[in-house]
Amino acid sequence: MAIEVGAKLEGKVTGITHFGAFVDLSGGVTGLVHISEIADNYVKDVKDHLKIDDVVKVKVINVDKDGKIGLSIKQAIDRPEGSAPPPRASGGPGGGGGGERFNRGGQDRGGRPFNKQSSGRPSFGKPSFEDKMSRFLKDSEERISSLKKNTEGKRGGRGAKRV
């Protein structure tokens, strides 16, 4: 039987790695379900979702020239037309997220509150670039003058006049 992209098949999990699971399809053909294609939510450990000898329904998502077969469990789930997959849960690296940059009820990716301005960029009540630059220059000048005061009297060799 030829394996075609888009075909939905049943297979048996034969191996589990940190990056996915190997599934034996009919006739001894084996494909890989990558960890990102196991579930709609974040998968930290494949062993939390699959066990060896589990029978799973998979969809063939690609077949390479060298015979490698890419499979997906989450794409094999039959959903009604027009329904979107469930939202991804936060808690994984990057906090999870489903496409839109600001999707967590008024928080950005770092968990900080934001307000959208007309430009579409978040406003955190932070000063403008010019304000930041003037503050930096002021702080920098203060530090330099402080360093000069503390090092002027320490220069020179023997017999230097100290203040």
Q: What is the pLDDT of residues 24-60, one digit of tens each?
A: 998 789 999 999 999 989 999 999 999 999 999 999 9
- Domain identity same for 21 and 56: yes
pLDDT greater at residue 100 or residue 131: 131
Query: Per the structure, how many domains does the chain have?
Result: 2
- Domain identity same for 34 and 72: yes
DSSP strand pairing (30-34 vs 122-123): unpaired
Q: What is the pLDDT of residues 51-98, one digit of tens each?
A: 999 999 999 999 999 989 999 999 988 776 666 666 655 555 555 444
Give the structural domain span for 28.
Answer: 8-76
pLDDT band at 109 (very low <50, low <70, confident <90, very high): low
Domain boundary among 61, 76, 91: 76
- Does the residue 85 lie in any domain? no
16 DSSP β-pair partners: 21
DSSP 118: T
- Domain identity same for 67 and 115: no
Q: What are phi and psi of 23, to 5 degrees?
A: -120, 125
pLDDT cut 70: percent of the chain above it: 64
Q: Which two tokens stand for residue 83?
A: 């329904």
Domain boundary among 76, 94, 121: 76
- Does the residue 16 lie in any domain? yes
